Amino acid sequence: MSDTPEFLPKERDLIRREFMVRFSSARSIHDGILVKRWATGPNKGQPKPAAAVQSMIERGLVSLVDNGAHWLKATFTPAGLQALRGMAADQRALPPRQYQPLLDELAGLP
Protein backbone atom coordinates (compact mmCIF):
# COMPACT_ATOMS: atom_id res chain seq x y z
CA MET A 1 0.00 0.00 0.00
CA SER A 2 1.27 3.46 -0.92
CA ASP A 3 1.68 6.36 1.51
CA THR A 4 0.93 8.80 -1.32
CA PRO A 5 -2.50 10.37 -0.75
CA GLU A 6 -5.05 10.03 -3.52
CA PHE A 7 -8.29 11.81 -4.22
CA LEU A 8 -11.59 9.97 -4.14
CA PRO A 9 -13.71 9.99 -7.34
CA LYS A 10 -16.03 12.78 -6.10
CA GLU A 11 -12.98 14.85 -5.14
CA ARG A 12 -11.35 14.36 -8.56
CA ASP A 13 -14.59 15.46 -10.24
CA LEU A 14 -14.69 18.63 -8.13
CA ILE A 15 -11.04 19.41 -8.92
CA ARG A 16 -11.67 18.94 -12.64
CA ARG A 17 -14.67 21.29 -12.54
CA GLU A 18 -12.89 23.95 -10.48
CA PHE A 19 -9.61 24.09 -12.39
CA MET A 20 -10.55 23.43 -16.03
CA VAL A 21 -9.96 26.14 -18.62
CA ARG A 22 -13.12 28.17 -19.17
CA PHE A 23 -13.42 31.16 -21.46
CA SER A 24 -9.65 30.96 -22.12
CA SER A 25 -8.69 31.22 -18.43
CA ALA A 26 -8.43 28.95 -15.43
CA ARG A 27 -8.34 29.32 -11.65
CA SER A 28 -4.97 29.23 -9.95
CA ILE A 29 -4.11 26.57 -7.39
CA HIS A 30 -3.48 29.46 -5.01
CA ASP A 31 -7.08 30.69 -5.47
CA GLY A 32 -8.25 27.43 -3.94
CA ILE A 33 -11.77 26.07 -4.13
CA LEU A 34 -14.55 28.46 -3.15
CA VAL A 35 -16.64 27.34 -0.18
CA LYS A 36 -20.02 28.81 0.68
CA ARG A 37 -21.13 30.06 4.08
CA TRP A 38 -24.51 29.50 5.67
CA ALA A 39 -26.60 32.59 4.87
CA THR A 40 -29.30 32.19 7.53
CA GLY A 41 -30.22 30.16 10.57
CA PRO A 42 -28.21 29.08 13.59
CA ASN A 43 -25.11 28.37 11.44
CA LYS A 44 -25.15 31.77 9.71
CA GLY A 45 -21.65 32.74 8.60
CA GLN A 46 -20.23 29.26 9.23
CA PRO A 47 -18.63 27.20 6.43
CA LYS A 48 -20.98 25.17 4.26
CA PRO A 49 -18.55 22.97 2.31
CA ALA A 50 -19.71 20.59 -0.41
CA ALA A 51 -19.38 16.89 0.46
CA ALA A 52 -16.22 16.51 -1.65
CA VAL A 53 -14.57 19.50 0.05
CA GLN A 54 -15.57 18.22 3.49
CA SER A 55 -14.02 14.85 2.64
CA MET A 56 -10.76 16.51 1.61
CA ILE A 57 -10.74 18.61 4.80
CA GLU A 58 -11.25 15.52 6.95
CA ARG A 59 -8.41 13.71 5.16
CA GLY A 60 -6.02 16.68 5.47
CA LEU A 61 -5.80 17.41 1.74
CA VAL A 62 -7.20 20.95 1.97
CA SER A 63 -7.67 23.50 4.73
CA LEU A 64 -10.18 26.33 4.96
CA VAL A 65 -8.94 29.91 4.77
CA ASP A 66 -11.21 32.65 6.08
CA ASN A 67 -9.96 36.06 5.02
CA GLY A 68 -13.24 37.77 5.91
CA ALA A 69 -14.57 37.67 2.35
CA HIS A 70 -18.03 36.42 1.45
CA TRP A 71 -16.58 33.08 0.32
CA LEU A 72 -14.11 30.90 2.17
CA LYS A 73 -11.29 29.20 0.28
CA ALA A 74 -10.22 25.57 0.57
CA THR A 75 -6.50 25.60 -0.21
CA PHE A 76 -4.35 22.55 -0.81
CA THR A 77 -2.11 21.36 2.02
CA PRO A 78 1.29 19.77 1.24
CA ALA A 79 -0.45 16.37 1.25
CA GLY A 80 -3.11 17.75 -1.10
CA LEU A 81 -0.46 19.09 -3.49
CA GLN A 82 1.20 15.68 -3.43
CA ALA A 83 -2.13 14.04 -4.31
CA LEU A 84 -2.69 16.66 -7.04
CA ARG A 85 0.72 15.87 -8.53
CA GLY A 86 -0.22 12.20 -8.55
CA MET A 87 -3.48 13.03 -10.32
CA ALA A 88 -1.60 15.20 -12.84
CA ALA A 89 0.74 12.33 -13.69
CA ASP A 90 -2.21 10.57 -15.36
CA GLN A 91 -3.12 12.39 -18.57
CA ARG A 92 -6.52 10.70 -18.50
CA ALA A 93 -7.26 12.35 -15.15
CA LEU A 94 -6.13 15.83 -16.21
CA PRO A 95 -5.88 16.06 -20.03
CA PRO A 96 -3.31 18.73 -20.94
CA ARG A 97 -5.64 20.33 -23.49
CA GLN A 98 -8.10 21.27 -20.74
CA TYR A 99 -5.78 21.60 -17.73
CA GLN A 100 -2.47 22.96 -19.06
CA PRO A 101 -2.47 26.04 -16.78
CA LEU A 102 -2.93 23.79 -13.73
CA LEU A 103 -0.23 21.39 -14.93
CA ASP A 104 2.18 24.29 -15.56
CA GLU A 105 1.48 25.74 -12.14
CA LEU A 106 2.07 22.38 -10.45
CA ALA A 107 5.37 21.97 -12.34
CA GLY A 108 6.53 25.37 -11.02
CA LEU A 109 5.83 24.59 -7.35
CA PRO A 110 8.61 23.35 -5.09
Helix (H, G, I), strand (E, B) or coil at 100: helix
How is the chain split into domains, by residue range? 9-102
Give the pLDDT confidence of 4-41 residue by residue, as tens digits. Answer: 799 999 999 999 999 988 777 788 998 899 999 999 99
Give the pLDDT confidence of 30-86 residue by residue, as tens digits. Answer: 889 999 999 999 999 899 999 999 999 999 999 999 988 889 999 999 999 999 999
**pLDDT value for 21:** 81
Nearest to 107 by CA among 11, 99, 12, 63: 99
Instruction: Return the exposure string of 66-75: e unless at least 16 CB atoms fall within 10 Å of the residue's CB, then b.
Output: eeeeeebbbb
- The residues facing 86 across adjacent strands are none
How far is residue 2 from each of residues 5, 10, 82, 83, measured CA to CA in Å? 8, 20, 12, 12
Indicate the pTM of the whole model. Answer: 0.88
Does pLDDT of 1 surpass 50?
no
User: What is the rounded CA–CA span in Å between residue 95 and residue 75?
Assistant: 22
